[in-house]
Amino acid sequence: MAESLAEFLRRVRVQVDEALDRWLPKPPVCPDIVSEAMRYSVFAGGKRLRPVLVVAAAEATAAHPGGAHAVEGADALRLALPSACAIELIHTYSLIHDDLPAMDNDALRRGRPTLHTIYGDGIAILAGDGLHAEAFTLLAREPAHSGDAAALAARKLRVIRVVGEAAGPAGMVGGQAIDLQAADQVPGYRVTLDRDGLRAMHARKTGALIRAAAVSGAIMTGAADDLVAAIERYAADLGLAFQIIDDVLDVEGTPEQLGKTTGKDAAADKPTYPSLYGIEASRGLAGECVSRARQTLADAGLITSQLTAILDWVVSRKN
Amino acid sequence: MAESLAEFLRRVRVQVDEALDRWLPKPPVCPDIVSEAMRYSVFAGGKRLRPVLVVAAAEATAAHPGGAHAVEGADALRLALPSACAIELIHTYSLIHDDLPAMDNDALRRGRPTLHTIYGDGIAILAGDGLHAEAFTLLAREPAHSGDAAALAARKLRVIRVVGEAAGPAGMVGGQAIDLQAADQVPGYRVTLDRDGLRAMHARKTGALIRAAAVSGAIMTGAADDLVAAIERYAADLGLAFQIIDDVLDVEGTPEQLGKTTGKDAAADKPTYPSLYGIEASRGLAGECVSRARQTLADAGLITSQLTAILDWVVSRKN
């Protein structure tokens, strides 16, 4: 019987949490306070969307009849797990830094006090930096062996480059900088975003790492280039739908549902999908993204995979 | 005729600056403000100690008679340049973050206003994060080709792991966290450092990345394991000597000489070599490190390389 989405999500989360606990450095290798602070944020009960995408893309491409290399299901998970964990570490570091008073100044995240409210801004910056470095160490180190050593090394290097570009100035970091400028938080450098500018900002800020997650899973199983390209198109639409729904939930959700402060975007006079399109049209746009992504999967012969179920999860979520 | 240290330093700095300019992303690949901010700090006229070490270690091991692989001089530089630049990007990001009000709160660095005093703390955090990610992207990407593809990929992955561990929670980030605790900047987490604790803190905070620099140069030329180990022992002593002299200059130097605020350690009541040993004994300790490092080079057959000249440079510097 096919695995349900709920079963799949539970399986990935258990595997990812177990691997993160094993792979994150512990004292005396690193100081107590850094270990404590990193783990506080990493094990805060996130959705693990990015790891779920890495594993779903790996399992879907491994099972694909046109795959260049035959990869067993268990092998796909083992190949994907380091990328899944590394990308979650990068996502977590970005949340820690974004929550700082110098950025979005958030006191609540995933239903708990943000890291800097507990340890101060200095340790929060360092914990983020530590997770960031650790992500790349992990990508270079794991898995240590898997069949052809030269092929494994080439895939690891390709993933490191994809993840580095997605996380860096051209991707996530660049998007967050534009977001600060749009919220008039950089004196003398304000930018005004129209609809295209908003989409381009989100394509960097959240889209780039979501695309990198799906692409990494496909690369690690040795998927052919056209399959990797299809996975990337799918993830671009998924990422945009995810962000639109995020904007909508910031208006419609409650702090109890979301585990974070709501109404922040409007309070900060930030441009959002609801503010530029209205709530109804925003949900419509998210639906269009999902339709396009579903068609991409159908055309690529991936429609029966968990990648399809993830689309519905992302737009129907309440947090 | 042998190249003088001054000629060597000039050659490496010109090559590194040219490569950094070429490899750092530019608009429209990344937003203007991120590019401006990253370049402001990267091209601030630093000593480039870490790149100099990478290249010196690469050229010394390439010319070594016991080297496992014959590497021409020009090839050694080409192999070393990406690591040299990537490690300088990581060093630069760490200075940007350390200068923030949440950490050391410095307004002056290399004779110019620190980044956050110009763009604000948010953009400074992001510029640092951008340089951090870019360092790993660069290590995975460059050089694109060099003889045996499988050997090159294996060396790149080893360097990424060495650099990631040195920069991360077990290394630089961990050391900076202990430094914050020692300066009583983390309420409830103060630590008191004795002489061993001070040395251990510096071995993480500045020593780890200096060791990684020298080791990366040796790895990229394919040096045998015992040669890499000798280079690492040399760099551990060099790094400690460098830090001791740094502490001494903070007491004896002027802001004009150093291009940064002086007397900060004493003002912050931070433990330093001069505060725990006195100035004279501190200089003596630095001298002992240099003697040990020189012996390590002699034993390894590397005494005629620029690695020897770098030892004298580091302890005789005035800034």
SS (H, E, C) chain B: CCCCHHHHHHHHHHHHHHHHHHHCCCCCCCCHHHHHHHHHHHCCCCCCHHHHHHHHHHHHHHCCCCCCCCCCHHHHHHHHHHHHHHHHHHHHHHHHHHCCCCCCCCCEECCEECHHHHHCHHHHHHHHHHHHHHHHHHHHHCCCCCCCHHHHHHHHHHHHHHHHHHHCCCCHHHHHHHHHHHCCCCCCCCCCCCHHHHHHHHHHHHHHHHHHHHHHHHHHCCCCHHHHHHHHHHHHHHHHHHHHHHHHHHHHCCHHHHCCCCCHHHHCCCCCHHHHHCHHHHHHHHHHHHHHHHHHHHHHCCCCCHHHHHHHHHHHCCC
Q: Angle, nearest 10°, between helix axes A279-299 and A306-316?
A: 180
Closest residue on chain B to A178 (Cα): B31
Asked whether the beta carbons of residue A186 and residue B122 sit closer than 8 angstroms, the reply is yes
Closest residue on chain A to B102 (Cα): A122
Of A149, A168, A189, the CB nearest to B133: A168
Above 0.85 for ipTM, yes or no? Answer: yes
pLDDT tens for chain B, residues 1 to 319: 589 999 999 999 999 999 999 999 999 999 999 999 999 999 998 899 999 999 999 999 998 876 545 677 779 999 999 999 999 999 999 999 999 999 999 999 888 999 999 999 999 999 999 999 999 999 999 999 888 999 999 999 999 999 999 999 999 999 999 999 999 999 999 999 999 999 999 999 999 999 999 999 999 999 999 999 999 999 999 999 999 999 999 898 777 777 777 777 777 778 899 999 999 999 999 999 999 999 999 999 999 899 999 999 999 988 7
* Greatest extent of chain B over all pairs of C-alpha atoms, in Å: 59
CA distance B90 to B164: 10
Asked whether the beta carbons of residue A168 and residue B130 sit closer than 8 angstroms, the reply is yes
pLDDT of residue B111: 86
pLDDT tens string A203-240: 999 999 999 999 999 999 999 999 999 999 999 999 99
Q: Looking at the complex, report in whole angstroms how far the Cα of residue B79 sits from the nearest Cα belonging to chain A.
A: 16
- Please, how many CA atoms are within 13 Å of residue B2, restricted to the half-sphere of its CB? 6
Q: Which of B65, B58, B3 is nearest to B301 (CA)?
A: B65
Asked whether the beta carbons of residue B160 and residue A136 sit closer than 8 angstroms, the reply is yes
Asked whether the beta carbons of residue A125 and residue B100 sit closer than 8 angstroms, the reply is yes
- The answer to whether B89 and B42 have CB atoms below 8 angstroms apart is yes
- Mutation pick from B38, B87, B132 vs chain A, by most beta carbons of A within 10 Å, is B132
Q: Which of A125, A107, A128, A127 is nearest to A117 (CA)?
A: A107
Q: Whats the size of chain B, residue-wise?
A: 319
| Strongest mean pLDDT among A259-263, A281-285, B1-5 | A281-285
Structure-block tokens of residue B235: 């760099």
- The answer to whether B132 and A154 have CB atoms below 8 angstroms apart is no
Closest residue on chain A to B98 (Cα): A122
Of B25, B33, B160, the CB nearest to A177: B33
Of B100, B125, B178, the CB nearest to A31: B178
Residue with tokens 């510029």: B127
> Could you tell me how many helices (H) and strands (E) chain A has, helices first?
16, 2
Q: Looking at the complex, report in whole angstroms how far the Cα of residue A27 sits from the nearest Cα belonging to chain B.
A: 9
Q: Distances in Å between the alpha carbon of A223 and those of A64, A145, B19? A: 9, 18, 33
pLDDT of residue A265: 74
pLDDT at A66 over 70: no
pTM of the model: 0.96
Of A33, A157, A158, the CB nearest to B177: A33
Of A97, A160, A170, the CB nearest to B140: A160
The DSSP code for A207 is: I
Give the number of A-B residue pairs with CB atoms closer than 8 Å.
199
Residues contacting residue B278 through CB under 8 Å, at least 6 positions apart = none
Q: Looking at the complex, report in whole angstroms how far the Cα of residue B2 sits from the nearest Cα belonging to chain A.
A: 38
Structure-block tokens of residue A22: 């094993």
CA distance A52 to A101: 30
Asked whether the beta carbons of residue B154 and residue A153 sit closer than 8 angstroms, the reply is yes
pLDDT of residue B216: 98
Residues contacting residue B10 through CB under 8 Å, at least 6 positions apart = none
Of B120, B149, B185, the CB nearest to A122: B185
The DSSP code for A239 is: H
Please list every residue in chain B whose beta carbon sits closer than 8 Å to the beta carbon of residue A142: none
Q: What is the mean pLDDT of chain A?
A: 94
Give the pLDDT mean for A78-88.
Answer: 97
Q: Looking at the complex, report in whole angstroms how far the Cα of residue B267 sits from the nearest Cα belonging to chain A.
A: 19
Asked whether the beta carbons of residue A136 and residue B141 sit closer than 8 angstroms, the reply is no
Asked whether the beta carbons of residue B132 and residue A134 sit closer than 8 angstroms, the reply is no
Q: Which of A227, A193, A201 is nearest to A69 (CA)?
A: A227
Closest residue on chain A to B123 (Cα): A177
Asked whether the beta carbons of residue B181 and residue A38 sit closer than 8 angstroms, the reply is no
- Mutation pick from B24, B161, B173 vs chain A, by most beta carbons of A within 10 Å, is B173
CA distance B111 to B117: 13
pLDDT at A319 over 80: no
Asked whether the beta carbons of residue A185 and residue B120 sit closer than 8 angstroms, the reply is yes
Q: Report the percentage of chain A scoring pLDDT > 70.
A: 97
Q: Looking at the complex, report in whole angstroms how far the Cα of residue A138 sits from the nearest Cα belonging to chain B.
A: 8
Q: Looking at the complex, report in whole angstroms how far the Cα of residue B5 sits from the nearest Cα belonging to chain A.
A: 33
Closest residue on chain B to A24 (Cα): B169
Read off φ and ψ for residue B30, nearest 5 degrees: -130, 160
Q: Distances in Å between the alpha carbon of A224 and those of A61, A65, A216, A227, B253? A: 9, 11, 13, 5, 60
pLDDT at A69 over 90: no
Structure-block tokens of residue B274: 């001069």
Closest residue on chain B to A172 (Cα): B130
Of A38, A94, A102, the CB nearest to B169: A38
Quick count: other Cβ atoms within 10 Å of Cβ A212? 30
